[in-house]
Amino acid sequence: MLVVVSDTHARTDHRLAGRTLEAVRAADLVVHAGDFNREPVLDAFRDVSAEFLGVYGNTDDEAIRDRLPPARNFTYRGVEFAVTHTREGGPTALSLFGRERDADVVVFGHSHRPTLDVSGPVTLLNPGSHAQPRGNRPGHAEIDAVADGLRCRLVTPDGEVFEEATLGGDRR
């Protein structure tokens, strides 16, 4: 399972709890879309993750910026993902970012608003914030292989699945 989180905004630890912590511990890959804030938070995620990838966000300290890129690509179960914290220009800019990076899915953060938009040529996925939802539903994303692609679920720390979609490989 791939687990996606973002916008932790902490100083000392990962602030994971409930289903979010369980999912991170069980995942074969954890991706963080930025805004850890302080370096001990990045280290805490690495400590509880089997494999970890991340990008830095706009509030991350210099130590995190020295260790993580502002954007990256990775492939999971044949689906290409591009990760960034944010792009000025909203969904259009995020979609263009994904197309420029030959991605099927763009993972992003920043807004703290969980988003799973499969309506365009590039899926847009924001897991929200598990730790600081700022008036939105707290969340993370869980992605599993299914027969016709990947199943993506947005899940609260309490374990409630509140959105779900299948991410296919060739949607362009």
Residue 148 has a pLDDT of 85
Best CA proximity match to 30, nearest among 66, 55, 9: 55
Three-state DSSP at 140 gives strand
**pLDDT (tens digit per residue) in 6-46:** 999 999 999 999 999 999 999 999 999 999 999 999 999 99
Helical (H) or strand (E) element with 50: none
Three-state DSSP at 141 gives strand
The model's confidence at residue 172, banded by pLDDT at 50, 70 and 90, is: very low
| Distance between CA atoms of residues 23 and 27, nearest Å | 6
The residue extents of the domains of the chain are 2-167
- Which pTM does this prediction carry? 0.96
- Assign a CATH topology to domain 2-167: Purple Acid Phosphatase; chain A, domain 2 (3.60.21)
The rounded radius of gyration (Å) of the Cα atoms in the chain is: 14
**pLDDT (tens digit per residue) in 57-82:** 999 999 999 999 999 999 999 999 99
Q: Are 85 and 33 in contact (CB under 8 A)?
A: yes
pLDDT above 70 as % of the chain: 97
Q: Establish how many alpha carbons lie within 13 A of residue 8's alpha carbon, considering only the half-sphere containing its beta carbon.
A: 30
